[in-house]
Every structure is written in structure tokens, then in C-alpha cells.
Amino acid sequence: MEFSKVLILDFGSQVTKLIARNVRELNVYCEIVRFDISINEIIEQNPKCIILSGSPASIYDKKNPEFDKEILSLNIPILGICYGAQLLSKIFKSQVKKSKIREFGPVKLIKIKQDKILDKIPNNSISWMSHGDTIYKPGKVIDVLARSEFGSVAIFKHKAKKIYGTQFHPEVVHTSFGKKFISNFIFSISNCKNNWKPSRLIKSKTKEIQDLVKGGRAISAISGGVDSSVSSVLVANAIGTKLNSFIVDTGLMRKDEIKLILPNLKKLGVNPKVINASKIFLSRLKGVTNPEKKRKIIGKTFIELFEKEAKRTKAEFLVQGTLYPDVIESVSISGPSAVIKSHHNVGGLPKRMKLKLVEPLRDLFKDEVRVLGKSLGIEKDLISRHPFPGPGLAIRILGEINQERVKILQEADSIYINILKEKKLYDLIWQAFCVLIPIKTVGVMGDERTYENTIAIRAVNSTDGMTASWSRIPYDVLDLISSEIINSVKGINKVVFDISNKPPSTIEWE
């Protein structure tokens, strides 16, 4: 079956992935590529349309990112968003200038001309602006379709070609008509087919893995999370007995993690070897409090163990469950995006590594991975587990890590998660966990004064981890969680609830 393909040229916006989310939710396949992809590479991919993303850059920067202008001669629909629209307008001889005041936030859209891209979008709908440059004098080949309530150009169209530009961000939830706007461009303007689903990736991913490994041997480390499990099953299906799986017990896993995950994995035909490495991880992390340093140490230690296991099994490849949100937050891959933090399986990897990586989920969202896993026959108990970071509890223990502090966090986290499951809330929350804070406070237990640790509980709702809102857990459940943790876990006398959204916060604390 032939799938329509949408190419997104990434100029480094932190919300480029949200464009892809919107397109894929329409059951249309899309890929994010670098902004400077050549016209020949685009012709090879044969996209139905192209979307130009936003960027933290300005078109007035000395070395501002630009695309190959030959792309405009391909006679396929193009949509420029924010920075992408400004680049297009500049090429079409419009005048773009720096705004004295950056336009940021909700702005009403005033329609001037009707067009397919505006079908079923009401006048005065709320759009979300975030830009410092403004199109103030359109070129002769441009028609203005809509303006903001303040008079600036909001949407324009080339008079002779299917090329559009929008100053607002239709990909963010704050634009009330964003999904409809993107749908109009994808279907009404570009004539894409909505026949793609993540479950249909199994065949292409299997071939991709086989082409990469080419008869070689691979190893995979399974953490018990969704990503490592799905990637391991996918690779096992592709190369069979040439994959050796193992679980590294870092001493930083959730309580009874290995006992819980092994039965599920064995049912899937994956029988991982368990490597007890808790002593080496805890010794290397002793006295380390900087979160980035923790991640680097953990990444380096993992790779040492991987390479040792690879030598034993004569493997050349390492399978990892890296997702795109890991990539975009760790390193600038597609465009000039800003680094937020290092993930141990991306930015935390050593520069020189003997093993070649196999990352079959690298271009997928978390929810897409769950769909893929379900199609592979992985049980719901494993697929529906909340995300768990590769560095484990190391980044949920703020400050120094030792065995005592790990045990405190494991016990508290286990109580928290079990109560959420008992109250039928676990499946309604995207991710929930405890954080051990390096602050001791005064408390009273019985007739005695205590001076013990504080635990923060975190619960968020999200689709892909790129943005998240804090979950509204009922007060009576919060009360139960607090009481159970304080009464059952020695060393804790205070529980606090994190009500921060992402952005501006991150989901994890470190």
C-alpha cells in the first residue's frame, strides 16, 4: 500500500515535533529532516507536500538557516510556519522587519479572503503567536488571506503556486483551529491519503533493521520500560537468535523491577541475562550531585558493560529504545535547536564507542511506540507502564546517591504507584513518580520530634513528553498517598505535590 509522505524541514524549533504529531494524528506519514536537505534528496523521497518549521533564529542573523530555493520549483504544496513563513516572504520580495515588541501569546485571526486552507475556520478564532520578525509589506506575488487583530500579516498565499505562510503556530494547542488548519493543508491543498498507522511500520522497521545489521549480531539492554522492551522484541523478530538481550541491575531500578518484568519478557520469547552491576554504579556515583555529571557517568558505565557483553557474544550492534523526544532534548540533529539536557542513551554516550547503534524507535512518539508494541503482541501490563528514565532513580534522587536513599525512594514510589492502581487512576495518568529531595524538615511522630527527608510526588498528563500538564489527583487520594508514605517509609516525614507544567518545567526534576 502506498503512503503519502509529508516532509518537515526543521529549522530548530522546539515544537517542530508537534507539527509531526498533528500530521501523524491525521493518519498521514511524515518525516522530520534537516532544513538544508538537497533538492535531489527531496525528489528521491517524493513527498506530497513540505512544511517549513519555526526557528529560534532570525532571518537577519548573519548565518541564518536557509533551505535550497530550488525546492520552490518542484510544484508541490509548501507551508511555512513562523520563521519558515518569513523566509518564504523574503524570497517573494516582501519586506520583513524586526518588531520593536515581540508578538507572543493569543491573538485573534481576522480573515480577509476565503481559501481552501481556511475552510470551516471561524473568523476571530484564537491563534498563538511567538515571533520577533514581522511581515509588514507583502510582495506582489503574495495574497494576504488573514491578518492578526493588530493588523500584521497572519496568513499569506502565493498567487500562482500552492505555497502558504502563517505567522502563528498552528501546531500548538493554544491555536484553537490549529488541527483543522493543518488538516486543510494536508488534505484539501496537498491531496494526501490518510492511510498510515504506526502498526503498519512493523514490516518497514524489520527490513530497516535487517539492512543495517546485515547478518551481524546485536545485543539489547532491557530496562523494563516500554521503549527498551518494544525495540528488543522488534529486533528479535528481525534477526532472531542473533540478538542477545540482558538486564543491567544498576541498583537504581524500581522496587522488585526484575521480578515484575521477566515473566512478560519470557512470554515474548526474549530471555534476557541479568547482570548485577549495582555496586559499580553506586560506587561511581558516590559524592556526585550534578545531574548532568550523573547522566554522563551512567551512560559511560552502561556502554562499558554493553561492550563487555558484546565482546562475549561477538556482537557489533547495540539496540536502544531511543525516542525522538530524547533526541530533540539532547542534541541538535535535524536543525539548530537548543540542547535542554542529555539523555543517557543520546547525549550521554561517549564520543568514541565501539558498538554501532540500532535505534528502531528513534523517530517515534511514546504513544506510537505503544501502538507498535501492541501490534507486536506485547502484553498490556508492559505496554501501559509509565515512562521510566534510562538513568533510573539516579535522576529522581536530588543530591548524593547511596543505597539508603535509593531504598527510601523505592519504597515511597512503590506505595504511590500501587495506590494509583488501586484507585483506578494509573491508566489515566501519563507518568507518575516520586522524587527524593535533599531537604530535611522537622516533624512530629507520637511524642517525638523528627528531622527527616521530604518526598515530592509528580503526576503529569501528556501525549509525547514534549509538553505536559500536572494531573489533578483527588484530595482524598493525595491524603492517602501522603499518610501511607510517611507511616510506612522510615526516614520520611513530609510529602509535597508538584503542580508544575512542561514548559516551563521539565517532567523529571533532573
Q: Any idea which residues carry the catalytic annotation?
A: 82, 169, 171
- Please name the residues in contact with 97: beta carbons below 8 A apart, sequence gap of 6 or more: 133, 134, 136
Nearest to 125 by CA among 84, 85, 192, 184: 184
Do 510 and 393 meet the contact criterion of CB atoms below 8 Å apart?
no
Report whether 161 contacts 75 (CB < 8 A): yes
Q: 108 pairs with which residues across the strands?
A: 126
**At 307, which helix (H) or strand (E)?**
helix 291-313
C-alpha cell at 36: 538544508
- Buried b vs exposed e over 138-158: b needs ≥16 C-beta within 10 Å? bbebbeebbbbeeebbbbbbb
| Cα-based distances in Å from 24 to 37, 164, 179, 218, 497 | 21, 20, 11, 30, 34
User: Can you list the alpha helix ranges (DSSP code H) found in 314-345?
Assistant: 324-330
Alpha carbons within 13 A on the beta-carbon side of 30: 28
- Beta carbons of 133 and 114 less than 8 angstroms apart: no
> Cell 509522505 maps to which residue?
5
Angle at 367 between CA 357 and CA 431, to 5 degrees: 100
- Nearest-Å Rg of the Cα atoms of the chain is 25
Closest CA to 29 of 60, 50, 1, 3: 3
| Residue whose C-alpha cell is 520469547 | 269
Provide the total of helices (H) and of strands (E) in the chain, helices listed first. Answer: 14, 18
360 preceded by cis ω (within 30°)?
A: no
Residues 6+ apart with CB under 8 A from 151: none
Angle made by CA atoms 274, 235, 343, in degrees to the nearest 5:
70
d(CA 23, CA 41): 21
Tell me how far apart the alpha carbons of residues 295 and 15 are, in angstroms, rounded to a whole number. 24
Separation CA 43–CA 37 (nearest Å): 11
User: Own/partner pairs for 205-210, CB < 8 Å, 24+ apart?
Assistant: 205/234, 205/238, 205/360, 205/372, 206/234, 206/237, 206/238, 208/360, 209/234, 209/235, 209/238, 209/239, 209/358, 209/360, 210/238, 210/239
